[in-house]
Structure formats: C-alpha cells, structure tokens
Amino acid sequence: MKDLLMRLFFGVLFSEAILASAQTAGLICGDGEVMGTPSYLIEPVSPAGTPVPEGKTVFERKAPPMTVEGPTFAILLLFDGARQDLIAKFVGEGQMPNVKKLFFEQGCVVENCITIWPSSSIPAHTAVTTGAYPDKNGIVGQRWFDPSRKYYRNYIGPGSLRLSSDLEKNVKTVFERVRNENLGAVSVLELANRGASLFIPGMANDDQVIGNLLRLATLGQVGSRFPLVSKLARDGRTGLGFVPRFMMANCPEVDHIHHRHGTGSDEVRQLYKHLDAEVGKIADYFEKRGLLDRCFIGITADHGMGEVRESLSIHDFLTSEQIRVYIPKKVGYEIGNTDGILATMHPDNFEAFACWGGNSDVLLYLKGLAADGSGKLVWGGKIDRALLEGYPRTGKKPLNIVSRLLSERAVDILAYREGTDRFRFQSRRGASLLEGSPAAGWTYEKISGEDPFFYDSEGCLRFLRGVRTEAEWLEITCEARYPNSPILLARSLSHPTRSPALAVVATDGYDFIPSFLKTRIPGSHGGLTRHHTVVPFMFRGPGITPNRIRAARTVDVAPTMLGLLGIGMRGGQFDGRDIRR
C-alpha cells in the first residue's frame, strides 16, 4: 500500500509538471484549450506503450506526411551510465552494428570525452544540457547543502522538481537556447530541462523512452500515454504538426543494469546490444520518412561506472569519530525535500552533512570557525587546512579529518580549498596543489610524495609545468588514469555558496553508500578514474565527414549539437565549445 501511495504521489507531481510544461510552451492555454494545427499518430501505440494491433489506432486516423521545423533537426540520446570503452569493445566485436555504421563509419567519434566531478547523474546531466561546470550552473551534487542558507537539497525524488529553479539564472540550458530562436525543444525523461517546450517524465525503461521520443517527433502522441493531456486532447489536436528542432531523451537502463549486475555482467552486454537496436530503430524511422538526411543524431552519457567490492559509510565514519552528521530520516526511501525540510529546521543540531551521489563521491560540509574569534563552530564559518587537520570535538582531542579519512582504504582522493584560487589534493601516495582560474589558466605542482593522480609516473607532469589553459589540461591528461581530475575537482569546489568543505573520492572497488539504506550494489559511479569519467560522445548527420576527435568534455556536447543546427551559444555563462571548430 505504501508503494502504491508513493507512486500516486509522484504521478500527481509529474502530471502537474507535464501540464505546466505544456502551458509554458504555449501548447495548452490556461483554459485547457490545445493550440496548434492538428497532428496525428505516426505509429499506433496503446496507452501501455505497446503497438496497437494491425488495423486499429488510438485516434483512428492516418498519419499525414511529416514536416521539419527548419532545414535540419537534432536528436541527442543520453545513455545514462554508458562507458566509451565498452561501446568501442562491443562495436569491435560486432555486437553494435548500428552504432558502428552510423557513427564509427559515417560520423564523428570522440575517443576521450571527460565528464565532470562529481560524476553522478543529476550534476552530470546538468553539465551536459547547460555546457557549464557546477561552479557556474549551481548544481554541485546529487545532494548538497548550502551552509550560508542552512539548506539541504536532494534531487532523488520530488526534490528534482526544484532543479530548474536551483539552476543559476545566468546559465541557459540547451532547451532555452533553442526556444530563444522560437523553435521547438522537447525533453523525454531529461530532468535538467529548464525551458523545454514539452517534458515527458516517468518512463520505466529505454523502450518506452525511445518510443515516446519518436511519437513526440510531431508533438502529436502525448495523449496516448498521459491521461491529463489525453483528456485535453481527446479530439486528436495534441501538437503543432512538425518535427521539433531539438529533441533529447535520457535512457536510464544502462545505469540501472550497471548498478544491479556490475559492469562485466552478461546483462550489461545484452543491454548494449539492445541500445544498438534502439539506435537502429530511430535511424530507420526517419529514413522511411525521407528525413534521415536532415537529421543529426548524437549519443553521449553523464558518467561511466565502476565495480564495487566493499563499502565505507561516511556517515558511520563521522559518527564513530563523534562528529554529529545529519542522517536522513527514511520514508520508505530517502525521498528528498521531506528530509531537506527536516534538516533545514534544525541545522545547528549537526556539525556535518555528508552528501553522497553515485555512491563513490561525497560532498562533505562542515561547520567552520565563527568570525568573532570565539572559536565557536558555526555554519558559514571559516574552514581552512588548520581546521581540517585539527577539528574540535567535545570532550575529545581535535580530529585530523584529512589523515583519518586517508587511513581508510576506501578513500582515494581528498580535495579542498586553501584560498580563493588555490586547491590542495591529497592521497596516501602524496599531495599536490593547483592554483589559478579558468580565465587566467592553472599552475600545478607536486608538493610531497608521488603525484596523487600518477601524473609523474605516467609522464604528464612535465607537460603541466607553467601556466596551462583548461584546453591544454584536457589534451595532456585525457588518456591518463585520472583524466582532467584536478580541474574537475577545482571547478566542483568553486561555487560561492554550495561547494563542500571537502571533496571525498572513493578508491576503485569501493563506494560510500550509507549503511542506513541497507543495500549493497555491485556497480557505482562518482569516482575520478577512467571507468567513471570517460563517456561516449559521437554524432552523425548531413555534412559530417567521418572523423575521430582525441578529447572533449561533456560540457562541449550542448555547444556542438547547437552548432550543428546553426544555433550559437549567445548569452548566458558556459564553459563548453563546439568541438568541430
């Protein structure tokens, strides 16, 4: 019964989101009238999402010819949790013939596309759709805490409905940029969708995601699946009658299967084969309608995935060291704003918030020293290296949080700020410093032991001497064990209010899943090594010459896809670039 009530609760929320999105887009007026010229089903689909038997349709109408809103249009498929090395492996083994033909033979493939940190779904999706790192777009983690406002946010559950309002106002999503050109931009299950003409959430599997993407190609088939819109559109007038200029679909099953079965399982292999078939279905769909030569198709991912053998609960660790850490109350499952409200009501009861993401990353927020010199710990107080290495505890001697965390095999890298533009990285191997900014460039030096990221033994360190731009960092480290990692950590730690005191990164083979969730999973993401951070980015379409690009970033995806459509990144802050130029 509790599960049923939860489903009904989320269903109402998401139905309201659909209605609000449609009204914002001008598809549905405030009085419920549906605007636009008639459009009809292209492929008959039942309310359950399965094909209707031959000779029957939902609206009993025949599909008219499709028209395109502009000379070309684009589809971006985000395979949540997909790894580039696995795609290349399966393509080489003949397991993904459609991807091989459309992209490896006819398109452009990035060999090393590096995501952000934390390499977890919500912040990584947001980086894709905004072309901006977390310090600019404001979405610093799957969960985060704002010490200045004493506010806890969790995007797992209904908290995701706050994602658009949490996005910084001076950042624009790809949907907003397309809409600014008075063109259609549709999101299927992509939550980082501020400005989308239409948003369809809640699909259980990739078949349904791709099916709804194709039905939305004319914005005309929403009513066959979602009752609220269906009621408003029972006469079949459900869309604008053209192919939107930009469509994006989030396919979540790679992430789910990786988590449940591990990256080396047969289930993962079968799923990649299934995704290949879905890609073929999309190409076939538009080829039959004479539109494939006007269609750009892109594939990317938010993060990769690694294997897990053991776990360390950071919440348990802090509790054992007598640091009061906020532990979310459970309502069936930790569902977001419910816990956020509880935490916000009593923030001073806690000294720490340990915000985990894909389970191999933790944003650790700590009280700092009050500005009045009293030595009192307060939220928003000063946090420096001295405090982290001598954190006060009632009735016990101060705790060196850094050395104590690094004594745990599960902890690989710790990162924190030592000033406005100075960042320190520590591991059991050694320590290093990064200083600078995206605009001025970065200087990097090893300060003790071995380089924490193995840049000395891998030969990268000698090329990083002096001031280096972020483009140079990417080119030098893209094939390293920890590609671009110091830059990723620095950008994660640079938001003025939401960044943590300490970034905690798990060792390969470990995760930080909290013990109160009472679950263990064989796959995890959120780390910094290649399995976690190197993701696919490939695209094909009219005028694209088969090509390989050595390195790019997921913040380059939106500028590149918009560039293919002839839409520039005008206005708003962003970090990415069109990698064709």
* pLDDT single digits (tens) 402-426: 999 999 999 999 999 998 899 999 9
Give the per-residue pLDDT at 485. Answer: 98
What is the arithmetic mean of pLDDT over 487-508?
98
326 to 38, 104, 316, 334, 512: CA distances (angstroms): 53, 48, 11, 13, 15
Examine the pLDDT at 271 and tell me if it is beyond 50: yes
- Using an 8 Å Cβ cutoff, are 538 and 107 in contact? yes
Scanning 48-131, the segments in alpha helix (DSSP H) are 84-92, 97-99, 121-130
Buried b (16+ CB within 10 A) or exposed e, 190-216: bbbbbbbbbbbbbbeebbbbbbbbbbb
What is the arithmetic mean of pLDDT over 303-330?
92
374 versus 229: the higher-pLDDT residue is 374
Confidence band (pLDDT; 50, 70, 90) for 14? very low
Residue that is written with structure tokens 């995890």 in the block: 524
Angle at 166 between CA 163 and CA 172, to 5 degrees: 85
Q: Which residues are bridge partners to 416 per DSSP?
A: 424
| CA–CA gap between residue 116 and residue 119 (Å, rounded) | 6
Scanning 309-382, the segments in alpha helix (DSSP H) are 314-320, 337-345
From 200, 172, 174, select the one nearest 187 (Cα to Cα).
200
Scanning 112-217, the segments in alpha helix (DSSP H) are 121-130, 134-137, 163-166, 174-179, 206-215
| CA–CA gap between residue 290 and residue 355 (Å, rounded) | 49
261: helix, strand or coil: helix
Confidence band (pLDDT; 50, 70, 90) for 285? confident
| CA–CA gap between residue 420 and residue 496 (Å, rounded) | 10
Lowest mean pLDDT among 150-164, 168-182, 222-236, 347-361: 222-236
Q: Which residues are bridge partners to 76 per DSSP?
A: 248, 298
| CA–CA gap between residue 109 and residue 551 (Å, rounded) | 10
Q: Which residues are bridge partners to 509 per DSSP?
A: 308
Helices 266-288 and 84-92, axial angle in degrees (round to 10)? 80
| CA–CA gap between residue 351 and residue 365 (Å, rounded) | 8
From 298, 276, 295, 274, select the one nearest 286 (Cα to Cα).
295
Most confident of 204-208, 323-327, 501-505: 501-505
Q: What percent of the chain has pLDDT over 90?
A: 64
Give the pair of three-digit tokens for residue 36: 């636009």
Give the per-residue pLDDT at 244. Answer: 81
DSSP sequence for 418-471: EETTEEEEE-SSEEEEEEEETTTEEEEEEEEES-TTSTTTTT-GGGG-S-B-HH
| CA–CA gap between residue 426 and residue 415 (Å, rounded) | 7
| CA–CA gap between residue 421 and residue 72 (Å, rounded) | 43
Examine the pLDDT at 367 and tell me if it is beyond 70: yes
- Using an 8 Å Cβ cutoff, are 91 and 100 in contact? yes
Lowest mean pLDDT among 128-142, 215-229, 239-253, 328-342: 215-229
Three-state secondary structure readout of 503-527:
EEEECCEEECCCHHHCCCCCEEECC
| CA–CA gap between residue 307 and residue 305 (Å, rounded) | 7
Give the per-residue pLDDT at 81. Answer: 95
Give the per-residue pLDDT at 395. Answer: 85
Give the pair of three-digit tokens for residue 98: 């459609």
Phi–psi pair at 169, nearest 5 degrees: -70, -25
Examine the pLDDT at 287 and tell me if it is beyond 80: yes
- Ranges of each domain in the chain: 12-130+171-305+531-564, 308-524
192 versus 225: the higher-pLDDT residue is 192
Examine the pLDDT at 51 and tell me if it is beyond 70: no
Examine the pLDDT at 252 and tell me if it is beyond 80: yes
93 versus 340: the higher-pLDDT residue is 93
What is the arithmetic mean of pLDDT over 531-547?
96
CATH topology of domain 12-130+171-305+531-564: Alkaline Phosphatase, subunit A (3.40.720)
What is the residue type of 297?
Answer: I
Give the per-residue pLDDT at 58. Answer: 27
Examine the pLDDT at 40 and tell me if it is beyond 70: no
217 versus 543: the higher-pLDDT residue is 543
Maximum distance among all Cα pairs of the chain, rounded to whole angstroms: 80
| CA–CA gap between residue 395 and residue 381 (Å, rounded) | 21
Give the per-residue pLDDT at 147. Answer: 95
Examine the pLDDT at 63 and tell me if it is beyond 60: no
What is the arithmetic mean of pLDDT over 272-289?
91
Examine the pLDDT at 470 and tell me if it is beyond 80: yes
What is the arithmetic mean of pLDDT over 97-107?
98
Give the per-residue pLDDT at 568. Answer: 86
Across the chain, what does the average pLDDT equal? 82
**Which secondary structure element, helix H or strand E, spans residue 152, and what is its range?**
strand 151-154
Rounded to the nearest 10°, the torsion over CA 40, 45, 46, 48 is -130
**CA atoms within 13 A of residue 41's CA, in its CB half-sphere:** 26
Report pLDDT digits (tens) over 179-210. Answer: 888 788 888 889 899 999 888 776 556 677 77
| CA–CA gap between residue 175 and residue 192 (Å, rounded) | 9
Lowest mean pLDDT among 12-26, 103-117, 236-250, 554-568: 12-26
> Pairing state of beta strands 246-251 and 73-79?
parallel
| CA–CA gap between residue 39 and residue 198 (Å, rounded) | 16
215 versus 107: the higher-pLDDT residue is 107
57 versus 445: the higher-pLDDT residue is 445
| CA–CA gap between residue 566 and residue 581 (Å, rounded) | 13
279 versus 48: the higher-pLDDT residue is 279
